[in-house]
Each structure stands twice: as structure tokens, then as C-alpha cells.
């Protein structure tokens, strides 16, 4: 009998996926969960998935807010997730501008790979969830399963979805993941 596989790590976008996207959020008081987000993340945590946030925060590089301010927002964000029963295993952000051509701004993969090295998982085993084409592209680049959070079939930057799955919110995403993992377990028992 083979050992059961560990639940797959879930890589999450922050703005427009977990919290309301206010554009360059620089105030902890502006943090609000999107509908279904807290519940979905709690379900994933309870099912044993590591939750890791990877976020583009070019507002720092653009000089719209300081790194100190971003850290204040991140502290409150982390506390909100803990209070919701969904503590993070990691939080990574890129502070650069698009024109800096760094290797960490999504869809570039440096932050996901850093998380994978820190937590010891294969990037291709992860599940990447986000609302923009750069999130889906990030997942595709590492061979991960991708889930677009969208009420329709377009990404929030207006591109046709290329994701493996579309979920209206994170509660639906959690159900999709549960179904996928359940199917994998059933196939293992059958072999
Ligand atoms: Mg987003
Ligand atoms: Zn960067």
C-alpha cells in the first residue's frame, strides 16, 4: 500500500482573489474579504492544504507607498486569515515595477519557486488560484493546476480564461480542489 499523498499546496493571489481589489491598497483598514473567501480558505486549511500567498505589489516600486506600509497591511492581512481559521504557510510579494523586469513579478515564477524550496514541494504539484491572466500564466509556467476566480469566463484584466478551472469564489475553488483530490484518492484505491 502506498502512503497517502500530502494535500497539494495552494498558491493564492491576494487582491481580487482573497480580498477586495482596491488598486494599490496602502491602508490596513481597507482590507475586506471577498464573499466566500474566508470560508473557502478555512475549508482548504482544514483539509490540510498549505496556503501560500504570492502577490504583485508594484505600488512600492512606483513610490505610491512604502515597504513599511505594505508590511503593516500584510500583518493585518495575516491576522485576518488566522482569525478566519486559515493561517498562511507563506506570504511572498514582488515590490518591483513592470519595467524593472525582475524575475519575481507574476507571471514570473521566482516567488513560487522560493516558496516551494522553503516548504519542500514540487512547483508542478501546486494549485495556483487568482483573478488575473498573470496568475493563470504563473501556474502554467510551473505546470501547476490553475483555477481562475471569476464570475464569468474572463480574467479581471479582460482576457479569455486559459485556466484549468473557473470558480466564482474561493469556496467554489475549495470544492473543486476537494473533488480533484477525492478523485485522485479513489483512483489510487482502485489500482
Ligand atoms: Mg489579483
Ligand atoms: Zn519583483
Cα gap 107→146, rounded to integer Å: 13
Minimum-distance ligand to the CA of 108? 2
pLDDT at 161: 86
| Grid coordinates belonging to 16 | 481580487
Assigned domain for 132 exists: yes
Assigned domain for 60 exists: yes
Q: How many angstroms is it from 186 CA to the middle of ligand 2?
A: 40
Minimum-distance ligand to the CA of 129? 1
| 186: CB partners within 8 A, 6+ apart | none
Selecting among 15, 26, 103, 157, the annotated active-site residue is 15
Question: CA nearest 78: which of 59, 55, 62?
Answer: 55
Assigned domain for 42 exists: yes
Assigned domain for 5 exists: no
The average confidence (pLDDT) of the chain is 93
Minimum-distance ligand to the CA of 34? 1
Three-state DSSP state, 35: coil
103 counts as catalytic: no
pLDDT band, very low/low/confident/very high, at 4 (cuts 50, 70, 90): low
CATH number at residue 100: 3.40.50.1000
Contact between 150 and 36 (Cβ < 8 Å) = no
Q: How many angstroms is it from 142 CA to the middle of ligand 2?
A: 17
Selecting among 13, 21, 100, 103, the annotated active-site residue is 13
Assigned domain for 4 exists: no
Minimum-distance ligand to the CA of 107? 2
Q: Out of 25-29, 73-77, 180-184, give the one with best mean pLDDT.
A: 73-77
Cα gap 87→40, rounded to integer Å: 12
Q: How many angstroms is it from 25 CA to the middle of ligand 1?
A: 12
Q: Give the total number of structural domains in the chain.
A: 1
Q: How many angstroms is it from 139 CA to the middle of ligand 2?
A: 17
Assigned domain for 110 exists: yes
Cα gap 60→100, rounded to integer Å: 12
Neighbouring residues of the ion ligand 2, judged by CB less than 5 Å: 94, 96, 102, 104-105
Residue range 46-66, pLDDT digits in tens: 999 999 999 999 999 999 999
15 counts as catalytic: yes
Q: How many angstroms is it from 21 CA to the middle of ligand 1?
A: 7
Assigned domain for 3 exists: no
* Structural domain of 93: 10-190
Residue range 94-148, pLDDT digits in tens: 999 999 999 999 999 999 999 999 999 999 999 999 999 999 999 999 999 999 9
pLDDT at 182: 79
Q: How many angstroms is it from 1 CA to the middle of ligand 1?
A: 41
Assigned domain for 2 exists: no
Amino acid at each position: 500500500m502506498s502512503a497517502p499523498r500530502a494535500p497539494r499546496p495552494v498558491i493564492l493571489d491576494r487582491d481580487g482573489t482573497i480580498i477586495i481589489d482596491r488598486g494599490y491598497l496602502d491602508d490596513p483598514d481597507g482590507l475586506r474579504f471577498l464573499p466566500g473567501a474566508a470560508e473557502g480558505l478555512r475549508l482548504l486549511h482544514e483539509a490540510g492544504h498549505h496556503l501560500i500567498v504570492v502577490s504583485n505589489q508594484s505600488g512600492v516600486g512606483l513610490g505610491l507607498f512604502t515597504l513599511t506600509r505594505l508590511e503593516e497591511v500584510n500583518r493585518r492581512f495575516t491576522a485576518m486569515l488566522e482569525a478566519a481559521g486559515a493561517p498562511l504557510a507563506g506570504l511572498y510579494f514582488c515590490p518591483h515595477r513592470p519595467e524593472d523586469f525582475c524575475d519575481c513579478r507574476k507571471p514570473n515564477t521566482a516567488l513560487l519557486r522560493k516558496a516551494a524550496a522553503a516548504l519542500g514541494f514540487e512547483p508542478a504539484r501546486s494549485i495556483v488560484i487568482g483573478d488575473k491572466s498573470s496568475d493563470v500564466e504563473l501556474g502554467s509556467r510551473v505546470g501547476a493546476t490553475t483555477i481562475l476566480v471569476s464570475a464569468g469566463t474572463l480574467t479581471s484584466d479582460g482576457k479569455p480564461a486559459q485556466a484549468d478551472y473557473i470558480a466564482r469564489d474561493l469556496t467554489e475553488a475549495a470544492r473543486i480542489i476537494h473533488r480533484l483530490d477525492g478523485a485522485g484518492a479513489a483512483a489510487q484505491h482502485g489500482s
